[in-house]
Structure 1
Amino acid sequence: MKKELIQTPRGVRDLIGIDAQLHEYLVDKFKKISMLNGFKPINTPIIEFFKLFEAKSGEEIKKSMYVFKDKAGRLLALRPEVTASIVRAYLKHMQGWTKPIRLYYVGQCFRYEEPQRGRYREFWQAGLEIIGEKNINADLSVAFTASKYLEEIGIKHYYIVGNVAIYRAVMSKYGLSIEEQDHVLHLIDKKMIDEALNYLKQKNEELYEIINELLKTPLSKLENFLEQYREILEDKYDQLKEELNKLNIFINNLRELGFNAIYDPSLVRGLAYYTGLIFEYKATKGLDISIGGGGRYDGLTEIYGGTYEYSTGLALGLDRLMLIMKEISYNPPKPISALIIILGNTPITIGYKIQEKLSSIGISSWIYTTNKLRKALSIANKENIDFAIIIGEKEYRQEKISIKDLQAKEQITINNKMLEKTLLDLLLNK
């Protein structure tokens, strides 16, 4: 065996065994909760043109992208996140749809970052997007849906909430370009506060003082802050008053719905397309890491050449959710299972007819042919299977089936027509 042929590149991994089962469980639950909350599925390509992400993904993400040329010389990239692809798909296919458009997705993303616990170069995101709704209800809808999902999979969590609109309004008033604003927000997002403030100080002393004050201003004092700098903000003042109102409504509504929400003035998030309200999720138990987040990206459609649309969304990191669930020793519910054991020369087709019956009552099963019952039962026990359905040549001739409860260590023999009823009775008595 050649060792180099079985190695995976750094930062990617195989999902097998319990990890694969947990991943499928998380995906299935997310799809179910999303659909129950009025979202529809969308799948976009893993490969996109590089310029799609170059336009507005953010300083760090652009540096960490997997970028390559195809055989025709076109510059392509593996998607580092999904929202940009959703907006592109909206502009290409959905502009005539009734709004708001409510979408959910699950998919792989790629970033060339230093691998560490909870961070991979290939990672999975599950997300929600709403395009075409200005009202704070859209932000609450994506946040509430994700919270119900996290509750469903057993992860207690809280919100950290912020707003980038005030930062951008102040910086734009002092003449900073969008690129310069993105750089400052990138530094703040990485908690490199001193570096961000030094950069601003070199641009303008007064700007430095305002941003420094903003970073220390609690939610209860934000209105006073806006009043203090009303003359500087000028035409942005009314817009920021509205943003502050949305911020308060969002936090108060989350609390009313039973979720803990904390305002953090230094929360700005790394994606450059955020325009206003933003938030992150953190688990109350397990790893002290962000498990997801989102916010407003109004006008991203216009940057990509379409008409201006109000939009909001979020993404959850499935890999981090898996880590936390393993930290708190949470195991996904296992479906009832059976091993159908066909002994000797018993026709194998009887096994498939039984499997069809088991599927109809929601029991997972597979067929194993052997001459050695002990070996088959050993396999069933190692696989933690609930029931063994045993059909030997004698049982087949008599139209009978033996059912062995592998947990209770009890066995009965029945007429094969009674299989579904007998199993259902056994399950009810468990």
Structure 2
Amino acid sequence: MTLAMLIFAALTEGIRAVQRSGREGFAFGHGRRPLLQPQHRGGRGGGPRVVRSAAADGQAVAVGPVQTTEAEVKTPAAAGRRSAAVVQTAGGTKESGVKEAPLDLNPPRGTRDFFPDDMRLRNWLFDKWRRASELYGFEEFDAPVLESEDLYIRKAGEEVVGQLYCFADKGGRRVALRPELTPSLARMVLAKRGQLNMPIKWFAIPQCWRYERMTRGRRREHYQWNCDIWGVGEVTAEMELLSCIVRFFESVGIGSDDVGIKVNNRELLREVLHKNGVPDDRFAAVCVLIDKLEKVPLDHLRDDFRALGVEGSQLDSIAASVRADQTVDDVAQLVGEDSQAVKHLRDVFDMADAYGIADWLVFDPSVVRGLAYYTGVVFEGFDRAGELRAICGGGRYDTLLEMFGGEPIPAVGFGFGDAVVVELLKTKGLLPDFADTSVADAVVWPLAGGDETSTVQQAAGRVATRLRQSGLKTDVILENKKSKWVFKHAARVNAGVLVVIGADEVAGNEVTAKRLCDKEQQRVTLDGTHLEDLAAEWAMGEGG
């Protein structure tokens, strides 16, 4: 029997075997020997048995019945992965007849990518925050972005707990991405309490996470400027914080006509509720609803108040007491002038004149802040145009350590999100222009080809190193590029000087320096510091 006849018989028997079995047996690529095709389990049940040939025609052949289950078609998870069998071709490559769904190139909903231009803005804002903090004697700290879930469940309001990004780690421990930094700070203070010299003034710029409804200036991740003072029970601590916030606003061009800071005392609200018959065990829950009154009409919240036992004339009396047009004197008449909460508020407004921030502060008895741990004065920055939600906020939390099993330490602090202040600056036309930002002071261009390339590149590396050691930001052209591309690149990075080095320059131990603002150029020896001095002068726009 000839070789051709043997091959034909083998192929015929293979096809008959598949037909007899009634299921997948062998898959054949055009011009390829038969390959064993195993049962495919690409989901629950079988999937389409499509095998792409390595042949040039690019067609696919399916051998055996195709069994696509209804679940596989409808299940979103199945749609995002390969459903065809992957087989080994004679050439050793693995191929499939069905492509995966394209990757979603957007960041997760509510999060952001930071491209270089975005990073310039972020760094500018962070520098402003750091400068304001340092002017007031705050020290920087940080904490893990991942904390025990229990850290937040113990002290936060129900709203924050419901917004946690939380999960079990691989060890089965319940953890969460921090929604705010204050609990981590409290944990750190409690852990080192005997070693810390009170009072302490600390600041941080952490990234925080909350799974909440997104609005203008509010995302699911954001960076937040935090300043906290521990160990001071007097309102002088509040005044330092309020003044620090105002100094930041002024540093970016925002005035008291643009932004105000609402101030209240949470204990004052407790006294108002007590006068209206609300028991202490419902105080925190009622505060959460009162916090919503600025954004949600009272009639829309009556059912929620009723569920807490607050309704009718009782609710109307409370609502009247927390109207924004109420003065400290109005509320004092209700709770009495001997109230400590009233005294603290009067102290804040009296001291505001001394700090030069009286025009920024507004009394608003409806401000309670949404977190359950606040115990005294609370405050909230707001856009006077009414276009944005709270810009910043904070308050006193003297009993927070008790929630973690420690002895109480008086403390007060604030948080200030990046997204909302950027929106505010954008609205006011106050965002900085980074068009003239210098990415590099100098660009080094190794200009050579052929056998000289390596020598010239090494020389360029030595020159770049010298410039960098002298403090100049220096970029190097890393590939062989035409002059048009090089000059365009130098302009894009706003370099002041282009340093060209070719074979002739290497031989003469020199470089050609070109000032980019007017194209003046000089041959500069590499002896001494002539190059560094000239490059620094030209990079600063001098010497013209």
2:88 maps to which residue? none
1:398 maps to which residue? 508
* Matching of residue 341 in structure 1 with residue 445 in structure 2: yes
2:279 maps to which residue? 176
Is the Cα contact below 8 Å between 1:158 and 1:261 reproduced in 2?
no
**1:57 positional shift:** 1.8
* Matching of residue 263 in structure 1 with residue 263 in structure 2: no
Select the residue among 96, 109, 112 that pairs with 2:195. 96
**1:350 positional shift:** 4.2
**1:285 positional shift:** 8.3
- CA–CA distance in 2 between the matches of 1:356 and 1:301? 52
> Residues 158 and 115 from structure 1, CA distance in 2 versus in 1: closer, same or farther, beyond 3 angstroms?
closer
- CA–CA distance in 2 between the matches of 1:335 and 1:135? 46
Is the Cα contact below 8 Å between 2:208 and 2:222 reproduced in 1?
yes
**1:99 positional shift:** 0.9
**1:155 positional shift:** 4.1
Letter in 2 for 1:368: I
Is the Cα contact below 8 Å between 2:302 and 2:311 reproduced in 1?
no
**1:428 positional shift:** 5.5
> Normalized against structure 2, the TM-score is what?
0.69
1:28 maps to which residue? 127
Moved more, 415-424 or 65-74: 415-424
3-state SS of the aligned residue for 2:212?
A: coil
- CA–CA distance in 2 between the matches of 1:249 and 1:353? 64
- Give the fraction of aligned pairs with identical amino acids, expressed as a percent: 27
**1:240 positional shift:** 2.0
> Residues 257 and 115 from structure 1, CA distance in 2 versus in 1: closer, same or farther, beyond 3 angstroms?
closer
**1:87 positional shift:** 0.8
Select the residue among 352, 367, 376 that pairs with 1:276. 376
Select the residue among 143, 151, 155 that pairs with 1:52. 151
**1:409 positional shift:** 4.1
**1:217 positional shift:** 6.5
Is the Cα contact below 8 Å between 2:260 and 2:383 reproduced in 1?
no
* Matching of residue 363 in structure 1 with residue 472 in structure 2: yes
Q: For structure 1, which runs of at least 5 residues remain unmatched after alignment?
A: none
More helix per residue: 1 or 2?
A: 1
1:374 maps to which residue? 484
- CA–CA distance in 2 between the matches of 1:197 and 1:222? 26
> Residues 370 and 300 from structure 1, CA distance in 2 versus in 1: closer, same or farther, beyond 3 angstroms?
same
Is the Cα contact below 8 Å between 2:263 and 2:379 reproduced in 1?
yes
3-state SS of the aligned residue for 1:342?
A: strand
**1:284 positional shift:** 6.7
Alignment of 1:113-152 (within 5 A): 113-152=212-251
1:159 maps to which residue? 260
2:329 maps to which residue? 223
Is the Cα contact below 8 Å between 2:375 and 2:396 reproduced in 1?
yes
> Residues 403 and 271 from structure 1, CA distance in 2 versus in 1: closer, same or farther, beyond 3 angstroms?
farther
> Residues 354 and 224 from structure 1, CA distance in 2 versus in 1: closer, same or farther, beyond 3 angstroms?
same
> Residues 319 and 410 from structure 1, CA distance in 2 versus in 1: closer, same or farther, beyond 3 angstroms?
farther
Select the residue among 114, 138, 141 that pairs with 1:39. 138
**1:207 positional shift:** 4.5
3-state SS of the aligned residue for 1:160?
A: strand
3-state SS of the aligned residue for 1:53?
A: helix
- CA–CA distance in 2 between the matches of 1:396 and 1:247? 70
Alignment of 1:59-98 (within 5 A): 59-98=158-197
Is the Cα contact below 8 Å between 2:199 and 2:231 reproduced in 1?
yes
> Residues 301 and 335 from structure 1, CA distance in 2 versus in 1: closer, same or farther, beyond 3 angstroms?
farther
Letter in 2 for 1:302: E
- CA–CA distance in 2 between the matches of 1:146 and 1:356? 42
Is the Cα contact below 8 Å between 1:170 and 1:207 reproduced in 2?
no
Alignment of 1:199-214 (within 5 A): 202-203=309-310, 207-214=314-321
Q: For structure 2, which runs of at least 5 residues remain unmatched after alignment?
A: 1-99
- CA–CA distance in 2 between the matches of 1:291 and 1:361? 42
Letter in 1 for 2:216: R
> Residues 76 and 296 from structure 1, CA distance in 2 versus in 1: closer, same or farther, beyond 3 angstroms?
same
> Residues 268 and 349 from structure 1, CA distance in 2 versus in 1: closer, same or farther, beyond 3 angstroms?
farther
> Residues 212 and 285 from structure 1, CA distance in 2 versus in 1: closer, same or farther, beyond 3 angstroms?
closer
- CA–CA distance in 2 between the matches of 1:240 and 1:49? 34
- CA–CA distance in 2 between the matches of 1:166 and 1:92? 32
Report 1 or 2 for greater relative contact order, CA contacts < 8 Å, sequence distance ≥ 6: 1
Select the residue among 245, 256, 274 that pairs with 2:346. 245
> Normalized against structure 1, the TM-score is what?
0.86
Alignment of 1:276-295 (within 5 A): 276-282=376-382, 288-295=388-395
**1:298 positional shift:** 1.7
Moved more, 279-288 or 163-172: 279-288
Letter in 2 for 1:423: A
**1:131 positional shift:** 0.9
- CA–CA distance in 1 between the matches of 2:124 and 2:332? 46
Superposition RMSD in Å: 3.0
**1:82 positional shift:** 0.9
**1:244 positional shift:** 2.4
1:423 maps to which residue? 535
Is the Cα contact below 8 Å between 1:370 and 1:376 reproduced in 2?
no
3-state SS of the aligned residue for 2:477?
A: strand
- CA–CA distance in 1 between the matches of 2:116 and 2:412? 36
Instruction: Flag the structure with larger Rg.
Output: 2
> Residues 421 and 285 from structure 1, CA distance in 2 versus in 1: closer, same or farther, beyond 3 angstroms?
farther
